Amino acid sequence: MKLIALMTSFTLGLITANAFAGDVQAGKALSEKYICASCHGPDLKNPIAPNYPKIAGQYEDYLYYALKSYKVDNHSQVGRGNAIMSAQAKQLTLAQMKDLAAYVASLPGDFVVKK
C-alpha cells in the first residue's frame, strides 16, 4: 500500500513537472509565424545588433518568464519594458510563450556554464 502511494505521488510529480513543458513543434511554427529570426538571427544565436540578445539554447523557464515579463511591460516591479519585445509578447498567449520557450531552449546555443 505504501509502495502504491509512493508510485502514485511519483507519477503525479512527473505529470506536474511535465505540465510546464511547451510543445517544441508548435513553438517552431510560432517562431516562424512571428519571425523571431528577423532580429535574433536565423539560428536565434546571431542577432542583427549587439544589443539584441542571443536566445538559442537558453533555459526554457528563463525564456518563458522573460516573455511573460515583456507582456506585463512597464510594471514597476515585475515587468520588462522594452518597446520592441513588449510589442512581440503582447501578441502571444501564455501557452504560446511556453511553446516558444520549449523550441528556443531546444536549439543549440553558445551559452556556457562556468564552474
- Residues lying near ligand HEC in the complex (CB under 6 A) are found at 31, 34-36, 38-40, 52-53, 55, 63, 66-67, 80, 82, 84-85, 88, 100, 104
Nearer to ligand HEC, 82 or 106 (CB): 82
One-letter identity of residue 24: V
Nearer to ligand HEC, 6 or 84 (CB): 84
Burial class (CB in 10 A: 0-12, 13-18, 19+), 11: exposed
Return all residues near 10 (Cβ < 8 A) that are at least 6 apart.
Answer: none
Nearer to ligand HEC, 31 or 57 (CB): 31
CB of residue 17 to ligand HEC, shortest distance in Å: 22
Cα separation, 36 vs 99, in Å, equals 13
